[in-house]
Chains A and B, each alone.
Chain A
Amino acid sequence: MASVTFASITKRFGNNEVLHDVSLQIADKEFLVLVGPSGCGKSTLLRMLAGLEETSEGEIRIGERLVNHLPPRDREIAMVFQDYALYPHMTVAENMGFGLRLKGFAGDEVDSRVLKAASILQIEPLLQRTPRQLSGGQRQRVAIGRAIVREPKVFLFDEPLSNLDAKLREEMRIEIAKLHQKLATTIIYVTHDQVEAMTLATRIAVVNAGRIQQVGTPTEVFGRPENMFVAGFIGSPTMNFIEGELRREDGGLRFRTEGVDIPVLGGTGGEAEGPTVLGVRPEAIAVERGGAGGDGVVAAEVEVVELLGYRKNVHLKVAGVKALASVSAAFGGEPGEKAGLRFDPAGVHLFEKATGRRIR
């Protein structure tokens, strides 16, 4: 078991800098998820920790030990790859025991560790098969088993579920969560799927364009996104953004734009007046049929209504932009109708238009 420290990490491929001065501390036994869009640098950061990519600048430590110049085998890590990377010419048992045999473990010890891991992952009947005889989900279990048997200090997962279908992905997600509870080891998990990030992580680090945008618990990252990128990336359906002006009037704050004039909750009082983006999650919008009436109600027009079974997604036009509200399935509005929207004050987020930074 060990903590992991990235200190001022920069990574360049030729002249192309893909990670800019990234610092991150991961505690012992923590399940940290690095989440971000494709090409943001999250996998590169993981591969640098594994020793599969060199670090251009900065320090990586596992526990107290500086590992920058150590080969992967000396870092006491295990990695699960996106494409499983099982050795095709070996059986499942040989795949799982490969690392142990290289370390010089006795045959009996290798067998007992392989059997133990196989029983945790329920793949005992597969031990004598080769990878080509396995389904996608079984291969992923074997890949995880290969990591478990080595009893590493840190587990690295590089988008391990992205090649599985939706149902299997959900099952494996639960398996991985159980595994973390059972093994109580530090896990660093890379994904572009914010649902995986939210459900698995003890902490999430949101990465974009080679920089960490926010680090926090799933609740913090969802409830108090530090910038518009995080606000838009975390949460499904995604947050609605409406551009406008923030004004201080009668001791309170009001957000105004074409057809919108609503009071918003003040924070510490330091909010600057001026161009602002209001963000509101689809779940924080209440839709009333019949148009605007009363203070704080925003006029909108219903464009499309999608029934999801237990909820309805209502696509709206608000202040000239498109917005989405997630409402009860009982909502009876029809496309073309006028509607009035009420934003839950606790679900409203304000961002500086120029920088995208949170202002409350």
Chain B
Amino acid sequence: MRYLPKSPADREAMLKAIGLRSVDDLFAPIPAEYRLNRDLKIPRQMAESEIVDFFRQRSRENGDGYTSFLGAGAYFHYRPVVIDSLISRGEFLTAYTPYQAEISQGTLQSIFEFQTMICELTGMEVANASMYDGSTAAAEAVMMAVRLTGRRSVVVARSLHPEYREVLATYATHQGMPLTVAGFGENGRLNLKELEKSITAETAAVLVQSPNFFGTIEDVVAIAEIAHKHGAMLVVSIAEAVSLGIVEPPREADVIAMEAQSFGVPMGFGGPYCGVIATREKYVRQMPGRLVGQTTDKHGKRGFVLTLATREQHIRREKATSNICTNQALIALMVNIFMTVYGKVGLKELAKQNLAKTAYAAGQFAKHGKVLFGSAPRFSEFVVQTSEDPYAVNGRLLGHKMVGGLPLKKFYPELGNAALWCCTEMTTRTAIDTAVGLVAESERSVRSGKEEVDVEEVAR
């Protein structure tokens, strides 16, 4: 086996040194009746070339070569090549959690820089070293508000990513925390009247996303005012981090729960991604996750350590702020490098391109289908209503090696034949024009009463 650095003679010598006759003696502590006396029924040992072939084949079956208009929590942005080049260094890739600070300064300093940049971008005072992803970060941020306020119920915007909502529901159910969902208005933003009605003296947190699931930027100032008036904390989820380049961060929030996938992390069929929680300094002791702090060594030299660890499970056990241990460190490093590459000016220019592509696309789509929620500002996503079932529309696009917007029926049946489209700097005008053309074709075909494509078969 090519990963094992021992010859049969080494093994013999080692057994002899231990004073055993055979390998079986090593497993004597396991009662004989449970020992497996056969081969595992798993694929046979494969050569490296076979493994590479296997995954290349899977890649071909996995949308390779398609142009996509999907966003909805996973965004296709360009990843500068320096990211993979740097994270592939074994000293980053194959190091453990930096508990031994003297030989982990590389990881520690890079996390410190990550925390700093997340603070700069979100307008918060402290940020942690990462959470699993945006959905669990949002749920944990809400739990944090529950601890801080001593209240138990939560108001969630219906315009929050539906899967984030589901995750929060899972976390909250068994804690006996009541969840109320507040709907969205004609402009796609959280309905403030409904928020006002849902919020009570028992509300620990209001959780919204901005830009929200429809790409619409929420009126965070107004939402914060309502939440704070009732003594609740405002938690804002950010799923599209690139928006921070051109959209004011939700500075009025008490906690920001972010998904940083857009910053240099491959879409990777949904993970691994990089969640982050950022908040005010006064709330730091209720924040979950690891934190790196600056200090000095015996000789006064600057260095970095994991700090405020008493919040965490390995010390406080059942009274910890969370059970999180392993986080997304390597992914946070990708995010860190991405933020460093684009920096102060690049992030803004990048965000502007996303905005421009989306504005153009929404404008073009509006000529043929109905683009919803136009009266509030949006970032890179928009909802298009069509006459034809969006699965059928997507069926047309798939034939051109294109994946259209995400049909919303599953999540928002009230929106009818609606789909969520997304553009990034990677979306070309040609692709937009082609997609618009196909949507126009779909509209014409419905109007002329032609038969619909078999939805089930084509585009699920």
Genuine A/B complex: no
- Show the binding face of B for A, using Cβ within 8 Å: none
